[in-house]
């Protein structure tokens, strides 16, 4: 292995010398190489360690085609991943392969790279992107059916749901990195459907288990992103917790949909798993039944895919943490079950000429499956509080209490391939401010 070389990280037999990179139950083998931020600049994670890309550049470790490229150099001079996401596909491929060369077993660069590595868990303190715009979808058939049946038992799905990916425009400024405390929000709530309302802290605080993706290459205002090309406009994926105040949501959502019930905080995991790393875990989008309407041509993508990502939610109460008790598994679902695919969501968003930009975040909406233990929020999991769940300390939950910590995890497994993970997406509920 020469000092100035590239290595294909998609090789399933490739191994790394970095601590934790070869753990069977680890999230970050050499085949993953997700991006985040470290000391005010782009970084890459492998195993338990992280490398600031600027440090590698200053040490002269990148191949000449990268180290002399103006776009690449500019991307490393900003604190977030927006510039990196705008690089040409060949540049991103070269960067990924160059990084794999750093970390591969037998790399002649080990002695130069190893002193530059930092503790990965202490590295990512910020959200990975400056998010100009955030859009949240409602793409799970099982979630939409469950929620609809609570409020419209005879007509759970509205007539448009299987024709159009439903979404709402969120708040980019309240996207927070994993580990940030989430203050219980205030809002208008009612005791009867007709009001009158009162104003105060939400009593029905909930999480939503979601997968998000960041846009890489965007489109100009007035143009579109064809669904067949939309996958190639995605830079990478993260876990998303779209915190929700259900009592506020119930009163405000008609007629224009979610507003203050959801824009007070959205938590994202710190390491962005690239589209390239997830290629082996692509699965066909869910088949439509003979009773389902045919999608319109602009959404018809014969090669469209979902991702086979296992998603888990855990809750740990303040008492459990004080007693050293393990967090309680609340649900386990799979992203492969989504009715609308990431490509369809992105293509639909741009179909009216809306200009998508690097760093825009699109989230899937709650990921739920067919069973009770695969429901991705407490609204479903406890069926509006009628079926409370029991935590490891014996306490019951209908909705979240102050001090509760929600931990989300996601990972891909496939025979013959290493496990690829997303790490954790965490947040503790803080008391409402007076």
Catalytic member of 142, 143, 233, 348: 143
Active site residue 143: yes
Provide the β-strand partners of residue 361.
134, 214
Enzyme catalytic residues: 143
């Amino acid at each position: 292995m020469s000092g100035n070389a590239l290595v294909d990280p998609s090789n399933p037999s490739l191994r790394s010398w970095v601590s934790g990179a070869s753990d069977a139950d680890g999230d970050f083998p050499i085949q993953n190489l997700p991006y985040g931020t470290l000391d005010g600049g782009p970084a890459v994670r492998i195993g338990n360690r992280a490398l600031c890309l600027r440090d590698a550049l200053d040490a002269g470790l990148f191949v000449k085609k990268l180290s002399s490229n103006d776009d690449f150099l500019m991307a490393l001079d900003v604190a977030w991943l927006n510039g990196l996401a705008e690089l040409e596909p060949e540049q991103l491929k070269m960067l990924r392969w160059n990084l794999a060369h750093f970390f591969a077993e037998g790399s002649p660069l080990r002695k130069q790279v190893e002193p530059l590595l930092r503790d990965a868990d202490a590295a990512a303190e910020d959200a990975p992107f400056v998010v100009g715009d955030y859009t949240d979808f409602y793409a799970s058939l099982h979630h939409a059916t469950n929620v609809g049946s609570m409020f419209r038992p005879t007509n759970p799905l509205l007539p448009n749901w299987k024709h159009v990916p439903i979404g709402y425009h969120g708040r980019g400024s309240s996207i927070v990195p994993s580990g940030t405390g989430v203050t219980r929000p205030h809002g208008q709530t009612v005791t009867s459907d007709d009001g009158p309302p009162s104003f105060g802290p939400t009593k029905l605080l909930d999480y939503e288990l979601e997968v998000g993706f960041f846009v890489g290459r965007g489109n100009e205002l007035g143009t579109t992103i064809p669904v067949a090309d939309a996958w190639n406009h995605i830079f990478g994926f993260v876990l998303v917790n779209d915190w929700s105040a259900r009592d506020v949501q119930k009163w405000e959502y008609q007629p224009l949909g979610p507003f203050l019930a959801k824009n007070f905080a959205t938590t994202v995991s710190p390491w962005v798993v690239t589209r390239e790393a997830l290629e082996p875990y692509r699965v066909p989008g869910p088949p439509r039944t003979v009773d389902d309407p045919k999608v319109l041509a602009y959404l018809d993508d014969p090669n469209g895919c979902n991702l086979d990502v296992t998603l888990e939610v855990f809750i740990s109460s303040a008492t459990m943490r004080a007693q050293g008790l393990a967090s309680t598994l609340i649900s386990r679902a799979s992203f492969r079950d989504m009715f609308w695919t990431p490509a369809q969501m992105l293509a639909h968003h741009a179909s009216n000429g809306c200009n998508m930009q690097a760093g825009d975040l699109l989230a899937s909406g709650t990921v739920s499956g067919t069973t009770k233990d695969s429901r991705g929020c407490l609204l479903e999991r406890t069926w509006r509080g009628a079926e409370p769940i029991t935590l490891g300390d014996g306490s019951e939950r209908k909705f979240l209490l102050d001090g509760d910590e929600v931990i989300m995890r996601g990972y891909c497994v496939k025979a013959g391939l290493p496990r690829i993970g997303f790490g954790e997406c965490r947040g503790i509920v803080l008391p409402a401010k007076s």
